[in-house]
Amino acid sequence: MKKPQQDLAAIKQAMRREAEARRAQAAAAADEKAAERLTENILRAVTTWPGATVSAYWPMRDELDPLPVLKALAKKGHPTCLPVVIGNNQPLVFRSWKPGQPLMPGSFGTSEPPPEAPAAEPDLLLVPLLAFDRKGYRLGYGGGFYDRTLVALRARKAITAVGVAFAGQEVPEVPHDDLDQRVDLIVTEAGVIQPE
């Protein structure tokens, strides 16, 4: 769905409000096993290799929690990390973090590893989203952090970006332009969607 940039920004902003309400409804309807089923679905669907570094996001508000996935992959010996916002219009950086290690308050109400944590570069990214469609487009919070990050990482190496959401966050179409990066896979508590 190509639209003039100003129109596209307004459309996305309106869609974010709807998507936040949809996500809140999906989270309220989910049972306590949603994160466990998400973990099972990701471990079945995503191929990892020895030494592959995995990143997740620290869940905020009613986001589906990816930390059990990170814990399961850390137990299998994978290096793990979390993203850090370093500034507007910048890609994310990643710092090593293992479940249970200390965190500090981060941007936008999230938590992140402290500055002294070693830098990391993920091979597998668990990416948060407000809404998604079956083509692999995602609606984020509007900062463009993950789009910039995926562009930068994909220019350096092969990565796998997995969109993580409740099944109820699916929409018929996410408005996008050439700057919007698709995810390689979408995994929910209900199953796996391979983008068309």
CA 57: distance to chain centroid?
6
Number of helices (H), then strands (E), in the chain: 4, 12
Is 49's pLDDT higher than 90? no
Tokens, residue 21: 């309400």
Angle at 134 between CA 150 and CA 12, to 5 degrees: 65
Is 141's pLDDT higher than 60? yes
Give the per-residue pLDDT at 1: 46
For range 165-171, the mean pLDDT = 97
Tokens, residue 98: 């293992």
For range 138-159, the mean pLDDT = 94
Tokens, residue 52: 């592959």
C-alpha 148/C-alpha 44 separation (Å) is 28
Decide: 20 and 130 in contact? Cβ < 8 Å: yes
88: domain range? Answer: 5-193
C-alpha 192/C-alpha 29 separation (Å) is 19
Beta bridge partners, 128, equal: 164
CA 34: distance to chain centroid?
16
pLDDT 10s digits, 91-130: 999 999 998 899 998 887 789 999 999 999 999 999 999 9
For range 23-46, the mean pLDDT = 94
C-alpha 65/C-alpha 38 separation (Å) is 9
Count of the separate structural domains present in the chain? 1
Is 70's pLDDT higher than 60? yes
Give the per-residue pLDDT at 105: 87
pLDDT band at residue 5, thresholds of 50, 70 and 90? low
Is 182's pLDDT higher than 70? yes
Give the per-residue pLDDT at 89: 86
Is 25's pLDDT higher than 60? yes
pTM score, whole prediction: 0.92
Give the per-residue pLDDT at 41: 97
For range 12-39, the mean pLDDT = 94
The CATH number of residue 37's host domain is 3.40.50.10420
For range 35-64, the mean pLDDT = 93
Give the per-residue pLDDT at 64: 95
For range 130-138, the mean pLDDT = 96
